Structure 1
Amino acid sequence: MNREPSETKRYPTDLPSLAAALVRIESENPPGNESACAEYVHDWFTHHGIESTLVDEPNPDRQQVGAQIGAGRPTLVLNGHLDVVPAGDHDEWTHPPYGGVIENGRLYGRGSVDMKTAIAIAMVTALNLRSAIENGGLDGSIVVHAAMGEETADPGTKSLLDAGFDGDVGVVLEPTQCRVATSEKGMAWYEISWPGEPAHASDPDRGTNPIDHVRTVLARLNDYDASLRERRDPLCGQAYATVTQISAGEGSNKAVLADRTAVTLDRRILPDETIDEVDDEIERVVSELNRDHGIEATWDRDETYSSAEIPIDHPVAEVFREHSTAVTDASPEPWGIRASTDVRNFINHAETPAITWGPGSLAQAHTVDEYIDLDEAKDGLEILERAARTILSTDVSAFD
């Protein structure tokens, strides 16, 4: 008889408590600690009588969750990711990054805005609409994703869609201050590296110091970035190429010339650019460096997020604009998000129209003392429920 109150407390249905519970479960990526949070989400759904599955693909050590209510159409997929970027030095935080502290109307902690509060909103929305879906008051159905690996371009969302947790339309619940994004930039990380010849620093002329080429490489990449900034998408803004890391000599003696130097280039890709075209541009840049300066550089593309877009007047976008502007002062103007999200997996892989939308500010993502305003989160929950009711009451042909 004493279990129920404790179980109810463990699996709350009020948004602030549920969001705080998720924030308190550390799920940093790297290295990829999503499983404990996935187990909690799965247990929460199970406790509240909602069918859900712990999904082992693509990595059984990094589980994720797919849940579904109903079998009718249209099916609305609510997508969120469990992983968060590392919190860094905990001493720099005013509140513990995994404390889930609520103070002055804000929930603090790593993942509070990016994006565990949004996962909580999806969970509560599914629970609140369950009766209407199951008794036929709403014709459609809801799928909820709690995905792994979004922060490092792992195929979490892609594998959930492939596993049958798909639908007719999707919403990727990243923080947009409830503004509707119908397009997004892509992103690719390139490592450009070149060799040296190690020698003792007391006699450096016996070797070749690869660090000597850094200024030349940076100058050429700065020129490349300047040319990209002339390209502009009307919704997503400019293309960029930004050097984010330089490495040489790690793990070696400080008195030895490095055997190799590398720079990491973060390339932001507009919706009308393809990854093959960007690869060709990087190849030209590197070839010019080798031809003109004898650097012998090579390049490799690491993580890749493709760009994606749907028509700005697609019905799913129009529904969310209508309800967002009715509840908040979110701009109804067409817009594209400059960050990269898992919406590309819906649009490009599953051929499912989807938007990026959610409460909270992207400016808070990945920051020390990350937080979300709980009034904004409450508005997000109201909008999502209203929009879901509209979509689940609409003939599926409207979304084709």
Structure 2
Amino acid sequence: MEFMKVLVILVVVFHGSLSKPIGSEDELHVAVGQLERLVARLKQYVVDTNLPEYSMSGTGPWSESTPEFTRSLFHLRGLYDKRDPFSSNEIVKKLLKPYFGSFPNGPYKLELPLTSHNIVVMLDAWYNNGEQMMFKERTFHNVARELLSAHLQCATTRVDQIVFYVLKGQALAMTEDDQNMDTRLRKTLENWITDTATVKNVAQKIVLAAHRRTYGDIVDHIRYFQFKDIVEFLSKMKMLMWKAEQNKWSSVMFHEKLSQLLTDNDFAFKCPSMNNLWEFHQEIVSRVQERLSETKLVTETEVWLKEFLPTYITTRTTPAITAILHIYTDYIKSVRWHFEQMENHVTTRNAADITNFMSKFLTPHQLQYLQSIFEFLNTRDTSNVMQMESGKPKQHAFQE
């Protein structure tokens, strides 16, 4: 009976991802495979009737903290999130968007101006008011907003906002790469295509594909990257709220489960340290480097060109593909150069170097704001004092 109960929960939660068209047949196969493995795990769970229905401790064969469950849950939730405007990921993106729309301003803090007790008070009030149970999504949205608003007051988070602001400014310079590539492509394609309109159309499609393949979601990834753990925490909270309703927990049980969740995820109520900030930036750099692997991108583009070009070029396409890939290789190198300019400075842990680099893109008032944050962090966060003097030049990390 318990097995059927948990199975029904899973089916309901992920119904949105499997009852509607999936982006590709491969995604559907993966999702079905994940569900089959989860059912197998549930069968193990039902054998041990001593296991609690909802365990925060992560013990036993069916534990919500086991790597297998987490991978399965997050993959399936990823498919579900694409169509669910109330998913934790989508709510976080919506709430964070205004904060990353312009240069930050206002006071900043070293400690998060929000405690786990504040969250307990909000959710206990919701759960103890039977008439308000239907407003679960609204309550969750309010909690997420309070938590994220508090994090955006952290001094370290303000630095990330400024890094993103500068990167957005750099995006204009990066679009020049698209224009240069388009010009070179048109001139090259004229050797195989005589119609001017077709040449223009084909060149634009190649540039668009190249831009999408090269950049992907890099900018958005940088914007939300440091909040990935917060998203995971909020997802667990939302699941707990949903289970509380479905299983009709008592108010005391809900309070206990919620308190344990908050205790297990106390990081959500702390401002990132300077070390956290450098780790965020270094991991972003690693992701960008992986994304901009020249060999990988050229190979993927070559496969795509072999399918795309025969529609417009009736002769042998190999010479055209070779010429296009040469242009695309130069494009990748230019994109990497732009990101290297950011990488070589934002990961130095050197406030003077970072400030000097940022000065090229910020107004005097904005630059003063950044300097004041670094000074504040250097004097307050004594456990993570940053370098305030020039350091040794950093070597390019992009190596094939």
Q: Name the TM-score, length of structure 1 as normaliser.
A: 0.25
**Structure number, greater radius of gyration:** 2
Quick one: higher RCO (CA 8 Å, sep 6+), 1 or 2?
Answer: 1
Which structure has the highest helix share of the two? Answer: 2
Looking at secondary structure, tell me which structure has more strand per residue.
1
